[in-house]
Every structure is written in C-alpha cells, then in structure tokens.
C-alpha cells in the first residue's frame, strides 16, 4: 500500500477526525509521513517547540517527564492507534512531555499547524476534540482514584483490561511491551512490587503470562477481580476511541 | 449587591468566559443563581442527569466517586473560584463525579444548556474551553507523577503551594478546609500518614500550622522542599485560571 493510502485509512478511523471537513482530511493525508523508530528513539523532548503531532501505527511509545532531581515519571505507554503531542497547541506550542519509542515502532507524523487552523475554523472538530479531552480527563481521574483504592494486583488487572478488546467473549490474548519494568513504572510500581503483584494476580485469577502475551479464558477472570475496586462499571465506555 | 450583579462580576473574571459573546454573558448572568449550601449538602450524585454547572463562590466543595466496594475516592477539593460539573456536556449529560459542600459554602448554579449552545455557536469559547481542559489534563498528569515521585511531605507542600498566590513575595497565609482528613484523602493518604508527613514538613521547612491556616515567611520555604521532585518549574503556570 502507498504511504498516503495507508495514512488515509488510519486517519479516517480516528474518532477525533470523524467531524473534520473533507478538505482538511485531504490536506492532512498529503502532509502525513510514516517513520520507522527503533527502540530507544526519542521523538521529542518535554518543552521542545511543537510543530508536529503523532499517531502510533505499530509498536509502543512511552510518554514521560523528568524531575529536577533527575527521576523519571512515565505519563503513559501507548499502543497502536493512540494520538500524542496534539495538546501542545494549548500549551504555547511546546510538548507537555517527552516521547520515546520503547520497541521498534512505526509512527505517523502530522503538522500541528493544520490541526490548529481546522479547530479554529470548524466548531465540530473543536467539539470532537473537547469530547476526546473530557474522556482523557475522566481516565486520569480514575487513574488517580485507582492509585488510592486498588491494590497493586487489581491495578495490573485493570491495565490489562484496558488493553483488551472489551467486547470480546471467550478466550482472549493481550499483548504487552516486552520490557516489564516499563509497565511497572507506568503503573507507578517498583519492578519487585510489580513481579509480586503479577504473581498474586495469576494465582487469584488463573490468567497465563508467557513473555509479552497474556492469555485469558475470558475477560470475566479479570473483571471480577479488578472492577470491584473501581467507581465505574465494565466495560469502560470512556476509553479513548 | 444584587444577586445578578454579584454573579456578573464573578463570571466576567473567569478565563473560560473571556471569549464568550456579550449576548451569551447576558443570558448567563440572568439565569445564574446563588445558593447557600450547608456543610454536608450534596449538590449532585455521580451519573445523575446533568442540567447545571457550578462555581464555588465561597467555602469548599468536594468532588468524589464511590467504588462498587463502597470505598470513596476524593477527586478534588475545590476552593472559591473553581468551576465544576461543566464537562458533563461531553459525558452524555451525566455528572462524572458526586459533589458535596464540605464547609458552609455559597455556590453559583448555571444552566448547562446555555453553555452547550454557545460552545457549538462560538468557536472561540470552544477553544477557551479546550485550553482549560488541556491545563487540567496537565495538572492531572502531574498529580499522577507526584504520587509516584514525591514523598508524602513533599506532596503536602505542593498542595499548599497550589492554594497560595504564587506571585506573592514575603509572608503569606494559606487557608485549608477545617477537616484535615479531607485534605489527606484528596492527597490519597491515610489520616495518620498525613499527620506524620505534615509534622515532618513543619520540621523541615519551618512553616507554622494553626488550625486551618498555614503561615509562611515566604513561598521559598516550600518551593525548595517540594519542587525538586517535580518535572515543572515554579510557579506552576498551568494552574487553573
């Protein structure tokens, strides 16, 4: 498939662009580029001047910040389909975090200037973006809630459920990044705490973990365990589209 | 001052409404009402149908959710000046949390339908709201970061700095809600952890706590202590306007 056709297909499927004008979509497709990013490739640094936003086409991207003390906080680890860097247009055009490919990845880059212009011209896109931001805000609220109310094993279960196809019935396989210390830091845990909690989760629910894949007989194995300590019902309708 | 004049003054000072049309502001002022809410008054419940949004005029409002297990997660405690309930328009018109006055408070209520209409009609208001949401998103990112990287005393210091006038030089007094267990739960701490950490913060920085007020010789007392374990520089330019 040609680059532009592949980009077009991906962009048309993003909820955020459902309300965009055809002219804008044409321009966006024309200026989209696919990049191969090796493991460890830094895409941008926190507070860099932002002129592009990105979509993960395949692989995993880590968003993170560093404190004055030199410690690193992982804001998120994004699988395929996720947009990042787009909120820079509300941050005086500077990135609110750093981004790094943590496995060999394919990344689509898109110009922020186009998005900015279309949001100003097309109230429907602004509304779609507001809805996306409200969803994200709710997810973060829940993340803060879970750090208080869920134990470590429940939080791992919740993280897995969020990576799964939540409509699936029957057996399901969930893919994780290969580097488990990444998942641990995304969940705000020390690697040892993560290992212990994953062991406890396996014992309690019967899920099977083989390297970077997790196998479940059904989602119910995790739902019963994790969702009782959450203020929302499963499925999580507020997940990013 | 008449109710409508008082409401007008408050609404005109909100960053979110700087870009609103004069016609909209007139309608908003006409439909604004001030309510006295006693301590413990519940303003709305998580997932109630949302037809109003609110501004804290004085007092303190707690936003919270309850899990299926019956545990309570405090999403935020809002002092005067803060808007809440407004994102319900992106949540299928249902409130994403419950709200309760935790001290005798004055609350302004405003119809969501007006806000919804103006956001659809006026791209500038949609943009202003997007900026406000992006700021809030960044604050939440930081909250998640701090739960991982700051110790309990640093987090209390950070919470106090966010309640202070960050441009102040010289001595400063910060007001807290009377109920310290609330502050503890807002910070995701057990009351005992909070007491110990506050004691440690007093010893390390020399701040004075008397009931619900905190006295500082200068903000620097807290900045040196808390902001070294944060990825942003002081002052926090991303604070809610």
Two tokens at A11?
């962009």
**Does pLDDT of B241 surpass 60?**
no
Q: Supply the mean pLDDT for chain A.
A: 89
Pick from B122, B123, B133: CB nearest A137: B133
* C-alpha torsion sign, points B215, B218, B219, B222: negative
Answer whether B148 sits within 8 Å of A120, measured CB to CB: no
**Does pLDDT of B239 surpass 70?**
no
How many whole angstroms separate alpha carbon A139 and alpha carbon A195? 25
Answer whether A149 sits within 8 Å of B227, measured CB to CB: no
Which chain B positions have a beta carbon within 8 Å of A136's beta carbon?
137
- What integer is the mean pLDDT of B84-101? 90
- What integer is the mean pLDDT of B16-21? 85
pLDDT tens digits for B57-75?
Answer: 999 999 999 887 788 888 8
Answer whether A145 sits within 8 Å of B75, measured CB to CB: yes
How many whole angstroms separate alpha carbon B228 and alpha carbon A43? 26
Q: Which residues 192-221 of B have a C-beta within 8 angstroms of A?
A: none
Burial label, B164 (beta-carbon count in 10 A; 0-12, 13-18, 19+): middle
Q: CATH topology for A150-229?
A: Arc Repressor Mutant, subunit A (1.10.10)
Q: Which residues 96-115 of B have a C-beta within 8 angstroms of A?
A: 96-97
Q: How confident is the model at residue B1 (pLDDT cuts 50, 70, 90)?
A: low
Q: Supply the mean pLDDT for chain B.
A: 89
Which chain B positions have a beta carbon within 8 Å of A75's beta carbon?
141, 144-145
pLDDT tens digits for B124-163?
Answer: 888 888 888 887 778 888 888 888 889 999 999 999 998 8
Answer whether B123 sits within 8 Å of A127, measured CB to CB: no
How many whole angstroms separate alpha carbon B34 and alpha carbon B6? 9
A72 near A185, Cβ under 8 Å? yes
pLDDT of A230 reads: 87
pLDDT of A124 reads: 83
* Min Cα–Cα distance to chain B from A189, Å: 8
Which chain A positions have a beta carbon within 8 Å of B138's beta carbon?
87, 91, 96
**Does pLDDT of A240 surpass 80?**
no
Residues 6+ apart with CB under 8 A from B154: B146, B225, B226, B229
**Does pLDDT of A239 surpass 70?**
no
Which chain A positions have a beta carbon within 8 Å of B73's beta carbon?
144-145, 148-149, 231
Report the percentage of chain B scoring pLDDT > 90: 51
Element (H, E) at A106: strand A105-111
Residue corresponding to tokens 């990576």: A163
Answer whether B129 sits within 8 Å of A134, measured CB to CB: no
Q: How confident is the model at residue B234 (pLDDT cuts 50, 70, 90)?
A: confident
- ipTM confidence score: 0.71
Question: Which residue from B minimizes the CA distance to A75?
Answer: B141
pLDDT of A241 reads: 43
Which chain A positions have a beta carbon within 8 Å of B65's beta carbon?
141, 145, 231
Please give the CATH architecture assigned to the domain spanning B3-134.
Answer: Sandwich (2.60)
pLDDT tens digits for A176-225?
Answer: 887 888 899 889 898 999 999 999 999 999 999 998 899 999 899 899 89
Taking residue B9's Cβ as centre, other Cβ atoms within 10 Å add up to 11
Taking residue A38's Cβ as centre, other Cβ atoms within 10 Å add up to 10
Two tokens at B17?
């409404």
Answer whether A134 sits within 8 Å of B66, measured CB to CB: no
Q: Is B239 on the interface with A (CB under 8 A)?
A: no
Q: What global pTM score does this model have?
A: 0.80
Answer whether A130 sits within 8 Å of B119, measured CB to CB: yes
Q: Is B70 on the interface with A (CB under 8 A)?
A: no
State whether residue A15 is helix, strand or coil: helix
Report the relative pairing of strands A33-37 and A105-111 from DSSP bridges. antiparallel
- What integer is the mean pLDDT of B213-217? 92
Give domain limits for chain A: 3-134, 150-229
**Does pLDDT of A140 surpass 90?**
no
Q: Is B167 on the interface with A (CB under 8 A)?
A: no
In terms of pLDDT, which residue wins out, B39 or A149? B39
Two tokens at B50?
């949302």
**Does pLDDT of A145 surpass 90?**
no
β-pair partners for A209: A214
Q: Is B15 on the interface with A (CB under 8 A)?
A: no
CA A160 to chain centre: 12
Answer whether B46 sits within 8 Å of A231, measured CB to CB: yes
A3-134 against A150-229: fold identical: no
């Amino acid at each position: 498939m040609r680059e532009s056709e592949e980009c077009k297909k991906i962009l048309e499927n993003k909820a955020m662009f459902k309300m965009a004008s055809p002219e804008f979509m044409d321009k966006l497709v024309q200026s989209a580029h696919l990049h191969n990013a090796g493991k460890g490739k830094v895409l941008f640094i926190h507070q860099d001047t932002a002129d592009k936003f990105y979509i993960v086409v395949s692989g995993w991207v880590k968003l993170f910040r560093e404190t004055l003390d030199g410690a690193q906080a992982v804001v998120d680890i994004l699988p395929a389909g996720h947009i990042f860097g787009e909120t820079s247009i509300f941050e005086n055009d500077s990135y609110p975090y750093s981004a790094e490919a943590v496995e060999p990845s394919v990344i689509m880059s898109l110009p922020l200037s186009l998005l900015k212009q279309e949001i100003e011209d097309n109230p429907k896109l602004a509304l779609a973006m507001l809805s996306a931001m409200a969803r994200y805000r709710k997810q973060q609220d829940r993340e803060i809630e879970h750090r208080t109310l869920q134990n470590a094993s429940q939080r791992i279960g919740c993280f897995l459920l969020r990576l799964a196809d939540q409509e699936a019935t029957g057996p399901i396989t969930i893919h994780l990044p290969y580097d488990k210390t990444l998942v641990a830091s995304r969940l705000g845990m020390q690697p040892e705490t993560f290992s212990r909690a994953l062991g406890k989760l396996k014992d309690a629910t019967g899920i099977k973990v083989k390297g970077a894949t997790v196998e479940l007989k059904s989602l119910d194995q995790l739902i019963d365990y994790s969702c009782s300590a959450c203020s929302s019902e499963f499925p999580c309708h507020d997940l990013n589209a």
